[in-house]
Structure 1
Amino acid sequence: MNYSPKKFAVIGAGPVGAIVAAFLAKGGYEVTLCDVVSSLLEPALNPGIIIEGVDSLQARVTKVTTSVDDIVNDLPDVIFVTVKATAIPLIASALENFVGEGRYVVSWQNGIDTELDLAQHLGRKSVMRAVVNYGCVPLSPAHVRIAFHHRPHFLQELDPDSRDAAIGICDALTNCGLETRHTDRITDMVWRKSVMNSCMNAICAVTGKTMIEIIIDPILFNLVDSLIKEGVAVARANEFVLGSDFYPYCVNYIKNAGNHKPSMLQDIEAGRRTEVDYINGKIVEYGAQAGMATPYNTMIRGLVKALESR
């Protein structure tokens, strides 16, 4: 049975959500963009979301709203959750009335186990997880620069009964320019990306340096090296498969990111809570589960939390 979604909603009008909304709108789909900050929404209608950098486009969404209830009352086929992972419990609770046959929620986010937090409220059959491979910087409301875009992205259902729907969503994303492939290994991919994020995002957040500045600093690169190896050890202890080429892949990926401020540094500079608990904090959690000490991730998570409290 072919699943062909036509109507989408994106919860979170930050740079990650704006990019998804813009590509979907450019592809001719009906798109509702939702965020509690109304100033982020108005330009998405007129003149439209502007994307520049390694991708360039401009597109107007169909509707905007500051209330998740408006989405539930005008049911889309698919909702992309692009807010920070810390907001998942609140969003998931608000979406409980959305659940139904043929309707799906995609965690289009950083961090480990975000999809499981959604599924606690919405059920596994309705929830999917994506791994997103672009880095972006907000320039102004509905105006985003994509610093790097390593296609493809990946997506998988939590429940095997939703596999056809997951493939249909991948097709819709690919048709509008966000090449996305269905996978049966999304958890391994989440860990691959999260270990990469754990060794860079938090260090950038603490030091105020960009990714390339961290890489070329020999002292800081030693810390990156230790965080990668600790994350790999925890992943393997919990039987997640990162692949034999993961370490060189990780270093090359970071080097190609260039002079980019990752999201955790952007959050610290803007005075927002970070996702450190869903990245380094999860490595600490899974390390404890396997009976392993995680001194590097424990340390860097503590430093980021200290900055958050300011």
Structure 2
Amino acid sequence: MKVAILGAGAVGCYYGFLLARAGHAVTLIGRPALVEAVRSGGLVLESEAGREIVPVEATASGAGVTGADMVLVCVKSGDTEAAGATIASHLSPAATILSLQNGVDNAERLGAVLGRPVVPVAVYVATEMVGPGCVRHNGRGDLVLGASKASETIAVAFGAAGIPTTVSERALDALWGKLILNCAYNALSALTQLPYGRLVQGEGVIAAMTDVVQECVAVANASGVSVPDDIRDTVLALSTSMADQRSSTAQDLARGRPSEIDHLNGYVVHRGAALGIPTPANRMLHTLVKLAERQNES
């Protein structure tokens, strides 16, 4: 299968590596530094198993999706529409488009730009880029894939590549569950630059995270989304299963890059306001991260 990865950051490089190692023809579409590194030295994965390298194609152009059977869109939520515009004219009519992005509305937004369905995917993986063309895997890697004509076939291919994948008609519920995890951890990890295991040991942190979760659940329920009753326990368990992981928002702030906070806590704030549901804990975290971003710009 020919696979294109649009937005080859930590998530895209990790799944691109596994698919390439399984024998699929993978093209990474990313920043020039990544393209240069991958072309000269291959794509590198660091994990508990050691250090591995696979050869893949790489380009900075949206034309890299040409001829792809499947396109994994892994760009930041704020770049969704712009990224879609760069690939729209190059897509094969038969290509399946998957949105492996944070937030709950990217597949819908991307589909509007492309004029075709996009499959939503909830991603549960801890990864980080440790250099151009080098990704480190810190934990998990499973996916919940929205239902489509191609989803079962894709799930089998992913499973064979070492990517545990479940197909679900309720992928939106899974995305909301992931959103709640992100709202609880991302901003706090970013503002403190702490990994999850150390973060939850701070005074008042679990109580603050509980406030965030409760607000998110209220907004989700009012939006017609089903959230598990034990979602708070699931959130707190992440501090053990991904104890050494810093959030993607923390990595963005550390690198001086814009974060996705508008599509995480910010999304809950705006959705809550539209539904008449107060979200003060999420509002405070959103505000503090936006201030930190502004500080980075100065």
- Provide the TM-score with structure 2 as the length reference: 0.93
Do structure 1's residue 179 and structure 2's residue 173 form an aligned pair? Answer: no
Identity of aligned residues (%): 27
How many residues matched?
A: 295
Match of 2:146 among 139, 156, 160: 156
RMSD, matched Cα? 1.7
> In the alignment, does 2:54 pair up with 1:71?
no
Counterpart contact for 2:42–2:56, Cα < 8 Å: no
**Deviating runs (4+, > 4 A) in structure 1?**
54-57
Q: Is the 8 A contact 1:30 1:61 kept in 2?
A: no
For 1:153 and 1:57, locate their aligned partners in 2 and report how far apart those are by CA, in whole Å.
23
* In structure 2, C-alpha distance between the alignment counterparts of 1:34 and 1:17, rounded to whole Å: 9
Q: Matches of residues 119-134 of structure 1 in structure 2 within 5 Å?
A: 119-125=111-117, 127-134=118-125
Map Cα deviations across residues 15-42 of structure 1 (whole Å, 9 max, x no partner).
Answer: 111111111110101111111x222123
- SS of corresponding position for 1:10: strand
The more displaced of 134-143 and 51-60 is 51-60
Residue type matched to 1:13 in 2? A
Equivalent in 256, 262, 271 of residue 286 of structure 1? 271
- 2:128 aligns with 137
Q: Which amino acid aligns with 1:82?
A: C
1:99-152 per-residue CA deviation (whole Å, 9 max, x = no partner) reads 553212111111221111101111343x11111111112211121211111x53
Question: What's the TM-score once normalised by structure 1's chain length?
Answer: 0.90
Report the alpha carbon displacement of residue 297 of structure 1 after superposing the two structures with TM: 0.9
- Partner amino acid, structure 2, of 1:154: V
Question: Which one of 17, 22, 27 corresponds to residue 27 of structure 1?
Answer: 22
Structure-2 separation of matches of 1:199 and 1:263: 13
Query: For the Cα contact (< 8 Å) 1:154–1:183, is it kept in 2?
Result: yes
**What amino acid sits opposite 1:113 in the alignment?**
D
CA distance in 2, matches of 1:55, 1:92: 35
Deviations 1:166-215 (CA, angstroms, capped at 9, x unpaired)? 22222221111112121111100000011011011011112222212221
Q: Distance in 1 between matches of 2:49 and 2:221?
A: 36
Asked if the contact 1:13–1:142 (Cα under 8 Å) also holds between the matched residues in 2, the reply is no
- The secondary structure found in structure 1 opposite 2:206 is helix
CA contact (8 A) 2:215 2:278 kept: no
CA contact (8 A) 2:67 2:91 kept: no
Hey, what's the Cα distance between the residues in 2 that align with 1:188 and 1:57?
35
The alpha carbon displacement at 1:301 in A equals 0.5
C-alpha contact 2:184 2:235 (8 A) present in aligned 1: no
Residues 1:201 and 2:156 are matched in the alignment: no
The answer to which of 298-307 and 238-247 deviates more is 238-247
How far does residue 236 in structure 1 lie from its aligned partner after superposition? Answer: 1.3
Candidates 205, 208, 212, aligned match of 1:223: 208
